[in-house]
Amino acid sequence: MADVTIEQKFWGIWVNTVADVKNWATILDNATRRQAEKLSRAPGIAGHVSLMPDAHLGRGATVGSVIPTELGTIIPAAVGVDIGCGMIAVRLNKTWDDFPEDMSYLVELFGQSIPAGVGRERLDLLGKELGGGVGKRVDEWFRSNPIPDPRGLDVPRSKRQLGTLGSGNHFVEVCVDEEHRVWVVLHSGSRGIGNNIATMFIKRAKDESTEKLEDNDLSGLRGRSFEQYIEMMEWAQSYAYINREFMMDAALADIMSSVDDLHEEQRINCHHNFAAREVHFNKEVWLTRKGAIKADVDDMGIVPGSMGTATFITKGLGNLDSYKSSAHGAGRQFSRGVAKRTFTVESLRKHMKGKAWNFRDAKALLDEHPGAYKPIAQIMEDQKDLTTVVHKLHQIVNYKGM
């Protein structure tokens, strides 16, 4: 690997550390920097590691990193436990003036049609299906997309969770752009089944590793285990993609109940935790984007800020050094635990003033306080050579999982 400099600047690399990292983050702590260096030295890495502007500490691999590995190996912890997590956005044919002045009722409607929270499924306590009646579509999807190897997985539960939001920073938002056109934006992934698959193969990678590693979470898969993981990972990515589609359709049905002659004009659906076989620098690799979106020339992307801040619709510029990638969001500055100890319910309510949101759950949402994240304006400034802004969206309604 090439020598790189430890002196960090925006368009810089780190030298004298026997690491190979190219960095776009102007806000970067030392722990994240050291983790990225370790990642770049892991066995099987097939080029430099690119750090996006939203980079922050992750499990094994840095969140906001783009990682090339040799064709016969992949690091499952780098792909992460929410395989296929990503964003979907729909632009509607109406402007905000066409909507009711008070849209707070949508928070309740979304709560009924899009179950959210840790472990939530599409069934309520009485066994009645929730989530916009997607059960039939779920069955049809599973028939067309059977799990490659269901051993050790709770398949019935994965069916009940298809069409659900999850927790953490997953959300549904109604936004307006610079022309007051209305957008619906949603963030979610592969739910429990993706986590189960990831956990299973992360353990297998550690068990099978014979190499001395700086971090055991950098253990890679090879041989038959690699082949099995690729099959399961790609299935989980498809699950996450259709999960967002189902929930978006449910959200649109809720909105259409109050606005006449409403239809969508544009839909964007993109992963930001995934791996794909791609060619970069004339070499075919498995490219893992852990908290990054594909940003080849004219690729449409979605880059959300933190709760209550702006979201950006983007178009990729195909930057070669970033492996044609860009940031996936604002990126955390404080862990969830630190955020809950640092911020107050009053400051969160002040920040969300004028927006419809699940305000009764403010205390539970403190770990999602905007102050826990990097400023999204700085992220977009740092990646001007990776992507261009097409639309800037401002939130009107925010519904989050907990």
- Ordered mean pLDDT values, 10 residues apiece, the chain (402 residues): 33 55 96 96 96 94 97 97 98 94 92 90 68 79 96 95 92 96 98 97 96 94 98 98 96 91 96 98 98 98 94 98 97 92 94 91 92 95 98 95 73
What pLDDT score does 119 carry? Answer: 87
Structural domains counted in the chain: 1
What pLDDT score does 131 carry? Answer: 60
Residue 4 counted as domain residue: no
Closest CA to 317 of 389, 390, 388, 391: 388
Residue 145 counted as domain residue: yes
Cα angle, residue 247 at apex, residues 246 and 250 outer, rounded to 5°: 90
Residue 2 counted as domain residue: no
Kindly state the tokens that stand for 392. 């800037």
Residue 243 counted as domain residue: yes
Residue 381 counted as domain residue: yes
CATH number at residue 326: 3.90.1860.10
Look up 328 and say whether it is catalytic: yes
What pLDDT score does 258 carry? Answer: 85
**Which of the following is catalytic: 170, 272, 328, 369?**
328
What pLDDT score does 13 carry? Answer: 47
Contact call for residues 8 and 27 (beta carbons, < 8 A): no
Residue 258 counted as domain residue: yes
What pLDDT score does 125 carry? Answer: 56
The whole-angstrom separation of Cα 311 and Cα 267 is 15
Residue 383 counted as domain residue: yes
| Cβ contacts of 175 within 8 Å, gap of 6 or more | 182, 183, 184, 185, 311, 393, 394, 395, 396
Residue 3 counted as domain residue: no
Domain extent for 319: 12-400
